[in-house]
Each structure stands twice: as structure tokens, then as C-alpha cells.
Chain A
């Protein structure tokens, strides 16, 4: 099975809160000088692809859209983890894009790659959490779509997907080509690259194309939402002291929590 995994690069979600800032000019998260990593669930998607390849063979191509220079490390890590090759779509504006803007470019990139039985993406990006790329990609590629997959198995020329839903677990059979968005699961915890594979990743094929050369088909595209304002929620805290004996304090505390509708 030939698999394409889409990677997004985001500001490391593990950075301390004090390093989070919004650029007022672009109304986007500030990236300057901050560590950039592969968006969390995209690594789970890559792990699912690697396990599928171990079982069924085939190839894994990773595709990423963004400024080429910044993307190097993320793509290299994916290659070190075991992807066979990478396609980078050089697009300096991409870090500010939302899902509706990036999806047609990804679709064009996947058509350029040619072989893609299965496209895997993270179920949501660690920064915008829109959850729209998988359905938009499936629409653009004329593929079936399954979201929030924890496991993907090959079955009868298609895939069998274990899907995490609000009401429990769905087992979905999908025909190929398919776009599947992946959530985290004990079974798809991303592996660490071997140190020698980090070196070897340099020798794997990496193709760079300019976004303008891809001729993305935008006819089907939804208009991208306009971001009017982004703000960091301000939390304020107040402290009430409850007097009296311990038993009275407990009563007062319970009463107060009920008033606040916390109990």
C-alpha cells in the first residue's frame, strides 16, 4: 500500500506558557525564535503509516507545506523515523494559513506524488484545532474519508479503521483511495528515530516544489474563515477565606460551591 502522510509544523506545544504570544499584525501565533515541531497527531499518523508499511510493504511519502528552510528539520525527522521520501511545497505564507487554504495545495501535491492509496493526516493541528483538512482533502481527491482513527488495518483491498467516536468505538471499512485522520492511541505512539537513521535521512529523496507551480484546483474550496481577533484568555483569581470550626467551614464550602454551580 502506498501511503502519503501530511505533516504540519507548529510551535512546540510543550513550550512553557510564558513563551506563547500572538502577533497582533497577523493575528497568528508568534513563531520567531521558538522551537518548531511536527504537529502532535501528525506524528501518530506517521506511526500508523510505518506500522502499515511493516505489515503490507509499499511506500511512505511525507508532504509538508511551508517555508522550505524552516521545514527541513520536521521533514528530516519523518524520514529518520522511516518515511521513504518527502515532498516539500515551498510556501512562505503557509504558517499563517488555515485548513481551507492549505487543503487544496496538499491535494495538488498528493496528485503530483501520483501514488497514494491512503492519505493519513493528524485529526487536528496542535495550534488551530480545526479538524477540517481530512474531509476537505477527501473531497478534493474524490476519496473516502474516515476521521479520528486510532488504528488502521489493511482489509480486502481497503482499510479497516477503528474510529474513536463520542458514543464509543466505530469499526469502519473504507475503500481506497481513502483519507484517514488519526488520533493518538497506545498502539500508535510515535517511535523515536534511531540515531544512525538521523544521519541516513540526509540521503533519502527530498523534492521541493514552489506552491505556485502546483496549480492547485480551488474550484471546490470553501472560503477560508477570516480571523478577526485572537486573544489569550485572561484568568483572574480571587480568594475567599471561610471562618469557623472545621465542620462549619465544610458546610460553608459546600454551600458556596453549590452557589457557584460547581457541585
Chain B
């Protein structure tokens, strides 16, 4: 299946690249060191339409296809993976399920604000005892009159500190595993929601990662997303799209490694010659570039299939697996090519190294991606 970028895609790529150069590159190192939430840059991203890229124009979004989204995410992550994390969660884990499963009233109430950056979203699935085994979650939702009462603790919630709207998955039905789960749109201002522990992280440090505690949180029945018991299906389908966003993030990190390393080896002189003239160095650059191109093609293909409604979970898993392992590979090589300098904060590659690692972990570890892929291939076995 050929993946062809249209003029529009190229213009969006150029625009987001320029945005990243103006607004993100100058502050990326500082954001990482101080773990400061980039509120101003996010407001500018929202003005450009980057917070609700795939939300239909009727609901205030940009109405773009997933390929445009993925191209934009790579550009953001090339400059600041932490910033892109905030954006990608809002787009693919919050706006997307509301577009796909929300009622008309839910869409009208939440999508315009999410797309305009007036509200920020987060996705609450993981729990202390339900990580990779997400469908074992224990947060409960009990119907009392015209309200659901949610009780439980969610962990590692990206945007958890700043988010205004949480997509929360909770066990509402007397059924095991995925079939007992429903999804809820919970405003942070609803009674009974509070932020718990805020994590101190290795990378993507300008995005917050927090514990969210739902302590008898009362949610109007109108805020049930999809039907009762649909939550497991919604969570997994949402994650397929989310994983493509993370694949795009990994592409951005890998490209940053490639571009910085290629520039450095051209000017670093040892043994009387630029180290780019040494075969071992040239091979490292060639290997990064080849894996990056392969991962990008997988990611773009998955994005196109997402757009046509044909996306299989295994395709998203392959894109994320290939891209995240490419990012880690590229970061590992880049630090090595920079030698001692690469280990210091004088150059950005140590940040890329720390940022890259999360792409192999969140929205499904590499092991879970392999499990999804193998399950698809070996369905009969």
C-alpha cells in the first residue's frame, strides 16, 4: 500500500516544523531540566490547531486525517518529546474516543474546549495492580440514582496534574475482564477527584505524570462514554490510535538523534580527520537512518489505515514496537558517537536517551506489543 503525502501534508509538516523551531527548540532543554509545564507554548500550539487535529471542524477541530496528525507529532517530538506527550494524549487518548463514542451532547460540551486548549485531557486506565494487565482494573463505578459513583486509584496518568477532563475506565458491570468495564468522562471539578503522588521521571519531564484518586466521585449518567460494559473495547481501540501517536513520538526522537549525530560527526576531528570518515561511524549513521525510515513507513501505513477505519491492533503495535525500539537504538548510538560529550548536558543527546526509553514502556510495553502482534498472527493456535 503506497503512502503518499499530499501538498497539505507537506505544508502541515513545514508549519509544525517552523512552530517547533520557534517555540520549542529554544526552551526544550530548560523544560527538561526544570520539569516545568509548558503552558504558553501549549496555548500557541492550540492556536495553530494542534490540540484537536482530528476533531471534525463542526466541533472546533482541524478535521485532519491521522497521517497529518502523525507527521505533526513527529515534528513536535523532534524538538521536545515531553511537549509532544502532552499534545498526543489530548488528541488521541481523549478527543479521539469522544469523537468515536461520544453522544452529540458530550461532543458539544467537551470537544470545542479540548481542541482550543481551553481544557486539557487525560486518560485514566492504569492502576497499581493493573498495568500491562489493564483489564484487571479494580476501580468501581456504582449507579446511584442519576449518578455513577467512582471509587479507585489511577496511576501514571499523563497530564494528571493539569488536566480538566479525565477519561476514566471503571468496573461497572458484574462481568469479568473487559466486559465489566465502562468509560466515563469525569471533570476534575466533580466532587471526589484529587491528585495524589506526582512522579519524578527519567524523561519527558515537562509533562506531568500523576496518581489520580477517585474517592466516591459523583459522575452524571450523561457522562457515560459509550454503553455500559463498552469500556474495555473503547480503552483498547483508543490505545491502538494512541500507540500510533507514540510511534510518531519515537520517530521524532530517533530523527533528533540522527540529525544531531550526523552534524556532530562531520565536525568532530580525531586522528586528524572528521570522525564521519571512519567506517564504524558511517555504519552507525546508516543503521539509524535505515531503521528510522522503516519505522516511519510502518507508522505512516498504520496512520492511513486508522484513517480508513481498517486499522488492526497488530498494525499499530508493529508501528509502536518498531519505532520505539528504533528511538532507543538511535539514542544509544548517538550518545556513543558523541563520546564523553554525549554523556553531558552540554549536548541534547543525553535528553533524547532519557526520553526514548518511555516509548518502549507506556501505552503498552514492547512485550505487550509483541503479544498483540503474535496473538493476531497465531489466532488459531
Binding site for B on A (CB under 8 A): 72-73, 76-77, 80, 192-196, 198-199, 202
Contact = CB atoms under 8 A, between A and B. Distances in A.
Contacts, number: 46
A198 B57 contact: no
Contacts of A202: 8
A76 B62 contact: no
Interface in B8-51: 8, 10-12, 15-16, 18-19, 22, 47-50
A70 to B, nearest CB: 12
A123 to B, nearest CB: 22
Contacts of A77: 11
**SS of B interface (majority):** helix
B163 interface: no
Interface size bracket, B side: 20 to 34
A196 B7 CA distance: 14
B15 A196 contact: no
B62 A196 contact: yes
Contacts of A195: 12, 15-16, 48-50, 53, 62, 64, 68, 72
A182 B48 CA distance: 25
Contacts of A80: 11
A90 B314 CA distance: 48
Contacts of A193: 11, 15, 48
A76 B11 contact: yes
Given A192-B18, A192-B19, A199-B63, A73 B48 contact: no
A198 B15 contact: yes
Contacts of B53: 195
A73 B12 contact: no
Contacts of A196: 49, 57, 61-64
A73 B50 CA distance: 21
Nearest to B44: A192
B51 to A, nearest CB: 10
Contacts of A76: 7, 11
Interface centre among B7, B19, B61 (most CB of A within 10 A): B7
Interface of B: 7-8, 10-12, 15-16, 18-19, 22, 47-50, 53, 57, 61-64, 68, 72
A194 B64 CA distance: 12
Given A195-B62, A196-B57, A73 B47 contact: no
B76 to A, nearest CB: 12
B56 to A, nearest CB: 10
B48 A192 contact: yes
Given A73-B10, A76-B11, A194 B19 contact: no
Contacts of B12: 195, 198
Contacts of A192: 15, 18-19, 22, 48
The 7 closest A-B pairs by CB, nearest first: A196-B62, A195-B49, A195-B62, A194-B49, A196-B49, A198-B11, A194-B48
A195 to B, nearest CB: 4
A194 B47 contact: yes
A154 to B, nearest CB: 26
Nearest to B263: A16
Nearest to A200: B57
Contacts of B19: 192
11 contacts: A80-B11, A192-B15, A192-B22, A192-B48, A194-B47, A195-B12, A195-B49, A195-B50, A196-B62, A199-B8, A202-B8
A73 B47 CA distance: 22
Contacts of A194: 47-49, 62
Interface centre among B10, B62, B63 (most CB of A within 10 A): B62
B11 A73 contact: yes
A76 B12 CA distance: 12
A199 B64 contact: yes
A43 to B, nearest CB: 11
B303 to A, nearest CB: 15
Given A73-B11, A196-B64, A199-B64, 12 more contacts: A80-B11, A192-B22, A192-B48, A194-B49, A195-B16, A195-B49, A195-B50, A195-B53, A195-B64, A195-B68, A198-B12, A198-B15
Contacts of B49: 194-196
Contacts of B8: 198-199, 202
A114 B15 CA distance: 32
A73 B14 CA distance: 11
A163 B265 CA distance: 45
Contacts of B15: 192-193, 195, 198
B157 to A, nearest CB: 27
A159 B63 CA distance: 39
